[in-house]
Amino acid sequence: MSGAPLTFYLCHCASCQRQSGSAFGESLMFACEDLTLDGTPEERWTTGGSGVPIRQTFCGTCGVRLTHRRKESPVLVVKPGTLDDPSWLFPAAEIFTASRQPWLSPLPGVAQYLEGPDMDRLKDDWARWIAGHEETG
């Protein structure tokens, strides 16, 4: 990583629940030029819920999903659990909360979106979280 993340959010859509094997997916977004993957990840193309082709990369050794990127997008989404130390992260938003599992509660102080907001809103949410975090500690 050569640049700072653009945003970090939790996604409750059915696709993210399915691909994560959990109640939500975690997404840490970077500008493509700010991230280089080590090794030779395997890749697969799929079609997202919007009909846009998505390139997914996987570790060639263990098979864990590393990233995904919509075709021709300037941003790349990293799965934060693949980082050496993701403990510093806290989501700035939860998206597609209309699909949130009924036993999950919203995270306090985190922006909530019933569907997927404009990416600029997610980036603004992250900037606010970073600014507040820098002030408090």
Place of tokens 């909530």: 112
pLDDT (0 to 100) of residue 135:
54
Residue 53's identity, in one-letter code, is: P
In which element (H, E) is residue 47 found? strand 42-47
pLDDT (0 to 100) of residue 96:
94
Residue 113 CB neighbours (<10 A): 19
This model's pTM is above 0.75: yes
DSSP state of 113: -
DSSP string, 57-97: EE-TTT--EEEEEETT-SEEEE-GGGSS--TT---SEEE-G
pLDDT (0 to 100) of residue 107:
95
pLDDT (0 to 100) of residue 105:
97
Residue 65 CB neighbours (<10 A): 18
CATH fold of 7-136, please? glutathione-dependent formaldehyde- activating enzyme (gfa) (3.90.1590)
pLDDT tens per residue, the chain (137 residues)? 677 899 999 999 988 888 888 999 999 999 988 887 778 889 999 887 677 888 999 988 888 889 988 888 888 999 998 888 998 889 999 999 999 999 999 999 899 999 988 888 888 888 888 888 765 55
Rounded Cα gap, residues 117 and 49, in angstroms: 15
Closest to 115 measured CA to CA, from 50, 23, 52: 50
pLDDT (0 to 100) of residue 23:
95
Phi, psi dihedrals of residue 23, rounded to the nearest 5°: -80, -15
